[in-house]
Homo-oligomer: A and B are copies of this chain.
Amino acid sequence: GHYIICGFGRVGRNVANELTTTHRHYVAIDADEAAMEAQRERLPGLVYLGGDASDDDLLISAGIMDAQGVFAVTGDDSRNLMIVFTAKQLNPNIRIVARCHEVRNAEKLRKAGADSVISPDFTGGMRIASSMIRPHVVSFLDEMLRSELKLRLEEIRVPDNFEPRALDTLRLRSPNYVLLAVRKDGEVVFNPTKEFMLAPGQLVIAMASPLGRQELENALLPD
């Protein structure tokens, strides 16, 4: 499945970058076609549609009926609300993440159907404060992101057809990831032991490169 990015300003373009880096497909929608065309050099695979992303027909053209998720990330909270509302009506099962400026609008965006609402001013402020008071942690995470390996915290869902097995029988060892935890029934088991029984529906949390993520996914496939 692909993603739809509604709003292709600075924030939308950073979302696009991250999707590109992690090998995911997307369609961008923005009224400013010239601005999108100008990104083609930096984002060679860019597919975009010009127009208002809260327009049903445009969202349908962008493939909302079989998309995996919609980003409502214009710089305008009311427009984002309209996009969330329209997207939810067209495809109630789709995952929707919205951007918001004013904290007081977050709840409305959630009520309209956003699964997650994020304010760059808030997360940026937190990050700026952390970088002052916990400098090493932020710099490590930044370096990991920027490094050749492009390491990230990743979660991999144990597939439904996975036969439960003790963790050490899977031989989850690679230079490309480090296993951190397993999420089980909403609870996090940090640093699980060799005897830990991995089962369908659990989430494996690891620090991994894109290759490492692939390796982990493959390791969880049935033989």
Contact = CB atoms under 8 A, between A and B. Distances in A.
A121 B14 contact: yes
Interface stretch (A29-37, A48-56, A85-93, A125-133): A125-133
B153 A71 contact: no
Contacts of A15: 125, 128-129
Contacts of A124: 11, 14, 99, 118-121, 123-124
Interface stretch (A159-167, A174-182, A215-223): A174-182
- With most chain B CB atoms within 10 A of its CB, the pick from A18, A174, A191 is A191
A113 interface: no
B178 A191 contact: yes
A115 B134 CA distance: 13
A139 interface: yes
A82 interface: no
A144 B10 contact: no
A86 to B, nearest CB: 18
